Structure 1
Amino acid sequence: MQGDTPPASSETPQADTVEQAWSLAEPAPEETAVAASEGIREAVSEKSATVGSIVDTLDSLALSFGDMRISLFDVLIVATILVGVIAFAWFISKLSRRLVRRIHRLDDTQQLLVEKIVTIAIWAAALFLGIDLLGIDLTALAVFSGAFGLAIGFGLQKTFGNLIAGIILLMDKSIKPGDVIAVTDAAGNESFGQIRKIGVRAVSVTTRDQREYLIPNENLMINQVENWSYSSKNVRMQVPVGVSYEADMKLAEELMLEAARASDRVLKAPPPTVWMSEYGDNSVNFVIHCWIKDPEDGVGNVRSAVLKKLWWLFKENGIEIPFPQRDLHIRSSDQLDRWFEMMLARSGGDQVTKE
């Protein structure tokens, strides 16, 4: 018995076959590097046809790099989100700095360190937030990642090193705002200055003549630094003085001590001292050692005040301040004798005499 077989269908899936063939023949659509722009474009097109047509026009102006497509609309969306994220990060970092400064349990150095760490964390979070909002397909940038990473590595190597060096300086408190350090300029002249600010890249040092040096943080880590106020602000300064060999040395020392004690900025403890340093060519040289506790206000003005006071004390007590003197010996010769004779003849022998 022959079983019934279902009749062959007269309809064939020709439409589906054609669509599959076309789908295989057509190239894959280009991928956009900014996924966020697609959702925004569709949402705007649904709300308003006029705005949607403008968006479509901006989206039609595009450049293609392989499978990646970047339109003018993508660029505008990226710029808007970047500006918003940067403004948000700037506002949050500024607010965090104000909150940190209200913590009175932290000293100035600890506050600055916390501010830097919080600022770095905020900007790092803003970077990842921006990438997430944009929906950037980072794999689309794989072609440029090698060269881009190499360029960033070479370009930001010093900046990153200075950033880490600044954090280390703040952590060990070897250099902190308010310290007085010795600064050497390009000509090799050394002067001292006070640290005003430790930035991301450099330390700002202001000298007494209001010249501001920007020293990279890394240099302060590598090179030797003379910090006048690292463990204490007390600084001993020297005032060299020379007196005549004929002077009363004991009286001269007492007058030097009196001049040092007369200065308002010289500390009473430790007291000033006077050392005899050497027997010079024209004078006996002394050095007045005195201590100050405010080197940021300058040391030259203290030295000037001590020397001025000492000048009048030496004058009142008859202590001579010598100056270089030289004896000139002229050997006799026939020409010199004739010259003296001519001068004697012209002057009548009264004004010029020969020794």
Structure 2
Amino acid sequence: MNQNHILSHMLTGIVRDFGQPVMIWQAGTLIAVLVVAWLVARFLRGRLEVHRRARHEALRFSAESLDKALFPLLGSALVWFAQALLDDYMSTSLLDLALVPLFGIALIYVVFYIARRVFSSGGRDHAGLFVAEKIVTVLVWIGMAMTVLGIQDQVLRWMASVRFRVANERMTLLSLSTGLLWVCVTMIVAMWLGSLFEERVMRSRSIDANLKVVLARVGRALLMLAAVLISFSLVGIDITVLGVFGGALGVGLGFGLQKIASNYVSGFIILIDRSIRIGDSINVGGLQGVVTEIRTRFTTVRGLDGIETLIPNEKLMTDVVQNHSSYLTRGYAKAAVQISYDSDVDRAMALLAQAAQGVERILDDPAPTPYLVSFGADGIDLELGFWIENAAKGTAAVRSSVNRNIWRLFNEHGIAIPYPTRDVRIIGEMPGPRAVADSSVGAFMDAEVGDVVKLDGHLLSDPG
């Protein structure tokens, strides 16, 4: 009876060794192994922390679980190694018992780490992540309890004896549980590998931003498909049924899901041809904003009021879309000014070029260039042309800075900016003082610039 149960073996060994010198040797070995595991885990945490500082938020968020898993994982490995070395020389009942909780706790935190890498977004918990972690914790602790009590074989035989029918297949509770476990494991591993692949692709500097999104989405979809096929094969489901499912899916796409399929296809086309990129300022259907995210089904546009709008990708393919962002991201702007005819033109043009120096976002290549545009009625028209970096962000602030520099430099160097002059010409003889006092003066005083009025028989005009 004692040989048939792990419980009797473990407890009998503990009771037999209790108070004997061999228990002291086992306790000393266990403490030494755990101390070494703690020191190694502390060293690895420091190295991993330095490595994580340059990584994205999801990795830092899941790092807590990985840090907690290091000590029990290293401890279980070292305890197992020590147990294998000492088993031929003395009893290792205490090491056998300590190996169960160390391995179980390490398994819990490793599963937590993988789940947070897969399901966390931007350092925030997924809605069902907390519940999944609790379920995993309970299941692992139940497994550890059954292992210590030695009743796992009886539980497995009972699960194998519970039989039922699913469609035309005869299944047992054990086969169903095993199948669900394999499906969960393969799906989580596929999602984890997809997350790692997406992380590597997104960190690449030689790949276009849109192409990164395409590769990440396609890679994750292929891994999920492979996980489904592998899990079905492990469970024993004939994958030929997927052919029937694929045909039904094709019919559904042709009728009820054609809009959804069209959005997905349009999303991949947008990502591949790079007609719209993340950060572009676009105008579609009267909505103007900046593209913040391109998904396979929709594109997120943040409007000028800060509200984000989800636009179906099909709309971006069929409607007229105005893209205000150039691939070069630079734009041309100019500042016009007029100087008086008695000012030094060459000096004024040199000051115009100087006014653009030191202004943020103005490019040095091509260099700002002043021009003499025309000769106006009141002065000489000059213009300063310059290129602005990231013109989609706006040019008003840059032009304002340039105009302020022009005003300051012209004042410092005596360059006059003329203002319009108006000459009033009186046609005919000048009316006498008495006539000016006539009531018709009211009409003259109410007249505006450019009007022709009649005052005591005389026409007065302002040709300006």
Q: Which residue number corresponds to residue 333 of structure 2?
A: 238
Amino acid at match of 2:370: V
Please report the TM-score for the alignment, with normalisation by the length of structure 2. 0.42
**More moved, 307-316 vs 136-145:** 136-145
Is 1:183 aligned to 2:294, yes or no?
no
- Post-superposition CA distance 1:34-55 (Å, at most 9, x none): xxxxxxxxxx998359976xx7
- CA change 1:126–1:167 in 2 (3 A) is farther
Q: Which residue number corresponds to residue 166 of structure 1?
A: 270
Q: 1:147, CA displacement in angstroms?
A: 5.8
CA distance, structure 1, for counterparts of residue 352 and residue 192 of structure 2? 59
CA distance, structure 1, for counterparts of residue 313 and residue 246 of structure 2? 34
Structure 2 residues without counterparts, runs of 5 or longer: 1-154, 446-455
- CA change 1:97–1:270 in 2 (3 A) is same
CA distance, structure 1, for counterparts of residue 261 and residue 402 of structure 2? 50
Is 1:315 aligned to 2:414, yes or no?
no
- Post-superposition CA distance 1:256-304 (Å, at most 9, x none): 1110124254333332102344566776544322234455765333222
Q: 1:310, CA displacement in angstroms?
A: 1.0
Please report the TM-score for the alignment, with normalisation by the length of structure 1. 0.52
Q: Which residue number corresponds to residue 291 of structure 1?
A: 387
- CA change 1:130–1:298 in 2 (3 A) is farther
CA distance, structure 1, for counterparts of residue 247 and residue 394 of structure 2? 58
- CA change 1:128–1:241 in 2 (3 A) is same
Amino acid at match of 1:123: M
| 3-state SS of 2:356 partner | helix
- Post-superposition CA distance 1:127-178 (Å, at most 9, x none): 55576656685698799768634335423232222232134225xxx66557
Amino acid at match of 1:47: W
Assess if the C-alpha contact under 8 Å between 1:166 and 1:199 holds in 2.
no
- CA change 1:183–1:280 in 2 (3 A) is farther
Q: Which residue number corresponds to residue 253 of structure 1?
A: 349
Q: Which residue number corresponds to residue 120 of structure 1?
A: 221
> What is the correspondence of 1:100-115 to structure 2 with a 5 Å cutoff?
100-101=201-202, 111-115=212-216
CA distance, structure 2, for counterparts of residue 324 and residue 213 of structure 1? 49
Residue 91 (structure 1) aligned to one of 192, 202, 212: 192
- CA change 1:302–1:50 in 2 (3 A) is same
Q: Which residue number corresponds to residue 47 of structure 1?
A: 158
CA distance, structure 2, for counterparts of residue 342 and residue 225 of structure 1? 54
Q: Which residue number corresponds to residue 399 of structure 2?
A: 303
Assess if the C-alpha contact under 8 Å between 1:242 and 1:322 holds in 2.
no
CA distance, structure 2, for counterparts of residue 210 and residue 343 of structure 1? 55
> What is the correspondence of 1:20-31 to structure 2 with a 5 Å cutoff?
none
Amino acid at match of 1:150: G
Q: Which residue number corresponds to residue 268 of structure 1?
A: 364
Q: 1:320, CA displacement in angstroms?
A: 4.3
Assess if the C-alpha contact under 8 Å between 2:298 and 2:312 holds in 1.
yes
Assess if the C-alpha contact under 8 Å between 1:276 and 1:286 holds in 2.
yes
| 3-state SS of 1:261 partner | coil
- Post-superposition CA distance 1:178-235 (Å, at most 9, x none): 7xx452365487x8x5x655432455567898676766666777767657563x55x3
Q: Which has the higher contact order (CA 8 A, sep 6+)?
A: 1
CA distance, structure 2, for counterparts of residue 110 and residue 269 of structure 1? 30
CA distance, structure 2, for counterparts of residue 341 and residue 185 of structure 1? 57
**More moved, 309-318 vs 273-282:** 273-282
Q: 1:311, CA displacement in angstroms?
A: 1.6
Structure 1 residues without counterparts, runs of 5 or longer: 1-43, 60-66, 345-353
Amino acid at match of 2:366: P
Q: 1:308, CA displacement in angstroms?
A: 1.2
Q: Which residue number corresponds to residue 155 of structure 1?
A: 259
Identity over the aligned pairs, expressed in percent? 23
- CA change 1:82–1:308 in 2 (3 A) is farther
Assess if the C-alpha contact under 8 Å between 2:266 and 2:317 holds in 1.
no
CA distance, structure 2, for counterparts of residue 338 and residue 86 of structure 1? 98
Assess if the C-alpha contact under 8 Å between 2:282 and 2:324 holds in 1.
no
CA distance, structure 1, for counterparts of residue 409 and residue 309 of structure 2? 40
RMSD value, Cα: 5.5
Q: 1:247, CA displacement in angstroms?
A: 5.7
Amino acid at match of 1:121: L
CA distance, structure 1, for counterparts of residue 157 and residue 207 of structure 2? 55
Amino acid at match of 2:282: V
| 3-state SS of 1:156 partner | helix
Residues matched between the structures, number: 272
Assess if the C-alpha contact under 8 Å between 1:236 and 1:289 holds in 2.
no
